[in-house]
Amino acid sequence: MNTEEEMKEKSMSESGLDIDWYFTDASGKIAIVASAGGMLPDVVVNNMEKLKGMIKYFRSLPVLSNEILIEERVVQEISGHSEEQKKAYLRDVHYMVSRGFYYFDKEVLNNYYDLRYYLKASPIKPLIINRDTDGHLFLPEAIINSNLSDLKAFTVDQIK
């Protein structure tokens, strides 16, 4: 765990940034996380060059299914918006989830010390990575000890 001084330094360099990062579960399902100014796991911060490559690679993947499951909480949150606003709000969510990613985001934006991330949407057809055979440069090192199919929320300290 980081010391108080390390946390302060980490906060100064990460707070306010909105960075996409990725993790897998033990079965190889993959999630994208929009940091929204929140804390990043050390395993992500320690290799930002690799993260840049992952972002480029994962955004180039083909669509697996245009059917996605949007969380009811998100549907309620945007229910009062116009159709145009809803489309804009969900554009990136749909883009990544249609490629097989589970999509997590902060509920409270730019609150660095709130370590919680919530599921916004999940794929009908998840992308599954085989760490034994898909050993290319763009596999996320970050792993969670939970099944993404069952996960509605997590905290940064659960990522190893």
Closest CA to 56 of 136, 151, 153: 136
Q: Where are the alpha helices (DSSP H) in the chain?
A: 4-14, 42-45, 48-59, 72-77, 83-97
> Tokens 């606003």 belong to which residue?
85
What proportion of the chain, given as a percentage, has pLDDT over 70? Answer: 90
Give 72-107 pLDDT, tens digit per residue: 999 999 999 999 999 999 999 999 999 999 999 998
| Residue 102 contacts residue 122 (beta carbons within 8 Å) | yes
Q: How far apart are CA 29 and CA 25, in angstroms?
A: 6
Question: Where exactly are the structural domains of the chain?
Answer: 4-158
The predicted structure's pLDDT at residue 127: 96
